[in-house]
Structure 1
């Protein structure tokens, strides 16, 4: 089966991670004609609110809003993702199948252990995907990713790169709010950090802070393990 090759492949531990961290980046690139994809590792089946079925629908709606071409879920067990070979291989396969130029992953420091583990697994998979003699069960050919950037979910740090997302911020907001079970607390549902009174305002304030640093209204900050390069300063 032939898969669509993509320009950007964003990994998240749970549906909604990517939208929180780089929803604007994906919307902006999709709007500009680049092909984007999201690969969630789990279906977030242990979430306090909502069900797997509703989360699938929410993820699909969010991807549609952002213009994402491919939405993938590896269905690894929530809270049991591990940086072990048989799980990492699943990510390696996705990188080789979709052959992205850029991979996005959660920042490697976060309050949620799954976000940290996902980041570590992506690092391993990117490395393995480039090794010609490293075999995967699907027989996919090796692929070398050009850039890996890390996005923020729950925290903020000084960014190595800030993308101006002012013109697509409404899309980002709509994509996040598509996850109604996570961000809109209904009667009988459990209070969580996401549906509390401050999370969305924290996220908006963070994006405004990054935007201010580049003389824009909104921005999304990214980290990289490698120096950013340029031939000239001006």
Structure 2
């Protein structure tokens, strides 16, 4: 699970596979890291069933992407690819990660997506965020309860109505550099097969979608988030 002694982070992003977080929230991670916040990525699987690339390639690409985005800690729980079944054991391991890293904000995939693993990851993280705050819920490491301030969901393959759009214009090329660290997935080489990710339109879709969200808030690029609960706002106008 967490290697060595884990340290608390401000923001923890979960993905079903290496590259999920980078696609949907890479700009958010890069922006917060640049501002001095500590960030972490926790992938549930090693994407061992991916059509292209090997597990070792994906590990190296994941490390490169984390370095590019300024991610301070990176974890992989090693759940089976296409095996995110929502067992009590899987939820417990995610709960322990949340208690160990004590994030204020957690990110997870949106609960509607063409890939069933992304949907399953969304549900697992939601369960674990809830369990992490239960006082009498025990985890193997004995970590005390931790309540996450906010859970947000990011988009991977699709686009829906956003509750919040983060301006990532100043770090956008850093985001795309992090995405392109996954050469085995996005750049088709000889001997590899066609997939939705290495099709000519996929990277254009990511950039176009981020431009669309940016346009909605009057900036060049944005990343959209959805909150499963109402968002708190004390005033609609700035106080004088």
Bin the TM-score by the shorter chain. over 0.9
| 2:87 corresponding residue in structure 1 | 84
CA offset at residue 138 of structure 1?
1.4
CA offset at residue 198 of structure 1?
0.3
Aligned counterparts of 2:6 and 2:228: Cα–Cα separation in 1: 29
| 1:226 corresponding residue in structure 2 | 229
| 2:158 corresponding residue in structure 1 | 155
Q: Which of 223-232 and 33-42 deviates more?
A: 223-232
Structural mapping, 1:52-201, within 5 Å: 52-201=55-204
Cα deviation digits, residues 118-172 of structure 1 (max 9, x gap): 0000000000000010011111111000000000000000100000000000100
In the alignment, does 2:10 pair up with 1:7? yes
Q: What TM-score do the two structures reach when normalised by structure 1?
A: 0.99
Aligned residues: 234
Q: What TM-score do the two structures reach when normalised by structure 2?
A: 0.97
Aligned counterparts of 1:222 and 1:158: Cα–Cα separation in 2: 9
Q: Which runs of 5+ in 1 are unaligned?
A: none
Aligned counterparts of 1:5 and 1:85: Cα–Cα separation in 2: 24
CA offset at residue 2 of structure 1?
3.2
Aligned counterparts of 1:19 and 1:133: Cα–Cα separation in 2: 34
1:30 to 29, 33, 54: 33
Q: Secondary structure, in 3 states, of the residue corresponding to 2:200?
A: coil
4+ runs deviating over 3 angstroms: none
Q: CA RMSD in A?
A: 0.6
Q: Secondary structure, in 3 states, of the residue corresponding to 2:21?
A: helix
Aligned counterparts of 1:78 and 1:102: Cα–Cα separation in 2: 25
CA offset at residue 179 of structure 1?
0.2
